[in-house]
Structure 1
Amino acid sequence: MPDSEQLRNELAEWISEILLVQVDPARDDAAFVADYGADSMDIVDIVEKVEKKYAVTIRNDEVGSVRTFGDLSKMIFRKKGERHS
């Protein structure tokens, strides 16, 4: 699993490509909808990419709790930790 900084940089790059905006990996509080203009399909694209890249499953009921960059990065680390324990 990548370290925290590497994961955050990868996420910022992918999200920037999907949303066509500059995403700052240091801003945990940046909201996908309010700050980056994401819509529900953008969130689905981001989640699908994360699931494939990191071999994790984000359930539909969990997607609603992913509102910020920090929410997503923390969820990935938590899920990767669950797989390795």
Structure 2
Amino acid sequence: MRADFFELTEEEKNDLPRMIEKAKEIILAKHQPDAYNIGMNCGADAGQTVFHFHCHIIPRYKGDMEKPEGGVRHVIPSKGSY
């Protein structure tokens, strides 16, 4: 198990864009988002709380936030307290 992106092998890092595209295809099969946030937290001081590698692919919709500036930090109301 890899703790974060920086512990992935070169092969795993090279495969990541393909996996992100696959996730997008899965999302598009049921939903029609207008945009996406893609992100990773690497280390506790970056906000990582689950210490295995994972990449967040968050579908976004026009109007889902009044001001989407700031990206993933405020995508879940009341969670962006920093």
TM norm. shorter chain > 0.5: no
Q: TM-score, normalised by structure 1?
A: 0.34
Bigger fraction of residues in strand: 2
Bigger fraction of residues in helix: 1
Larger-Rg structure = 2
